[in-house]
Amino acid sequence: MSKVADVVVIGAGVLGCSVAYHLARKGVKVIVLEKANIGSGTSATGVGAVNIQSKGPGFYLEMNLASSAYYPEFAASLDGDIEFVPSGGCHIAETEPEMQKRVAFMEEQKKTPGFKVEYFFGKEVKDIEPAISTHVAGLTYCPQDGMVNPFLLAWVTARTARRLGTVFETETEVVDIQILNKGYKIITAKQGAFEAPIVVNCAGTGAKKIGAMVGADLQIDPMKGQLLVTERLPRLFRHLVSTLGQTASGNILIGATAHFGVDDTKVNYMDIKAMASRAVRLVPTLKNVSLIRCWAGVRPYPADGYPILG
Whether residue 55 lies inside any domain: the answer is no
**At which of 212, 234, 262 does a domain end?**
212
For the chain, the residue count is: 310
Q: Given this model, what pLDDT does residue 254 score?
A: 96
pLDDT band (50, 70, 90) for residue 49: very high
What share of the chain has pLDDT > 70, as a percent?
Answer: 100
Whether residue 54 lies inside any domain: the answer is no
Whether residue 102 lies inside any domain: the answer is no
Q: Given this model, what pLDDT does residue 60 score?
A: 94
Whether residue 130 lies inside any domain: the answer is no
Q: Return d(Cα 186, Cα 173) in angstroms, integer.
A: 10
The residue type at 184: Y
Whether residue 91 lies inside any domain: the answer is no
Do residues 229 and 298 both lie within one domain? yes
Do residues 290 and 236 both lie within one domain? yes
Report DSSP letters for 145-165, one per residue.
Answer: -EE--HHHHHHHHHHHHHHTT
Q: Given this model, what pLDDT does residue 46 score?
A: 86
CATH classification of the domain holding 161: 3.50.50.60
Q: Given this model, what pLDDT does residue 255 score?
A: 87
Whether residue 88 lies inside any domain: the answer is no
Taken in order 152, 155, 159, 161, the sign of the CA dihedral is positive
Q: Where are the alpha helices (DSSP H) in 218-310?
A: 269-282
Do residues 162 and 22 both lie within one domain? yes
Do residues 228 and 294 both lie within one domain? yes
Q: Given this model, what pLDDT does residue 310 score?
A: 75
pLDDT digit string, tens, across residues 270-292: 999 999 999 999 999 999 999 99
**At which of 212, 244, 263 does a domain end?**
212
Number of H helices, E strands in the chain: 7, 19
- Indicate the burial class of 294 (C-beta count within 10 angstroms; 0-12, 13-18, 19 or more): middle
CATH classification of the domain holding 250: 3.30.9.10
Q: Given this model, what pLDDT does residue 70 score?
A: 98
Tally of structural domains, the chain: 2
The 8 Å CB, 24+ separation contacts for 25-31 are 25/164, 29/5, 29/165, 30/5, 30/6, 30/161, 30/165, 30/166, 30/167, 31/3, 31/5, 31/7, 31/166, 31/167, 31/168, 31/169, 31/194, 31/196
Do residues 155 and 44 both lie within one domain? yes
Q: How many of the other CB atoms lie within 10 Å of CB of 57?
A: 16
pLDDT digit string, tens, across residues 210-227: 999 999 999 999 999 999
Whether residue 250 lies inside any domain: the answer is yes
Specify the 3-state DSSP secondary structure of 237: coil
pLDDT digit string, tens, across residues 85-112: 999 999 999 999 999 999 999 999 999 9
pLDDT band (50, 70, 90) for residue 242: confident
Domain that holds residue 13: 3-48+150-212
Q: Return d(Cα 83, Cα 149) in angstroms, integer.
A: 6
The residue type at 199: V
Q: Return d(Cα 270, Cα 125) in angstroms, integer.
A: 30
Residue 1 scores a pLDDT above 80: no
Residue 21 scores a pLDDT above 80: yes
**At which of 212, 238, 254 does a domain end?**
212
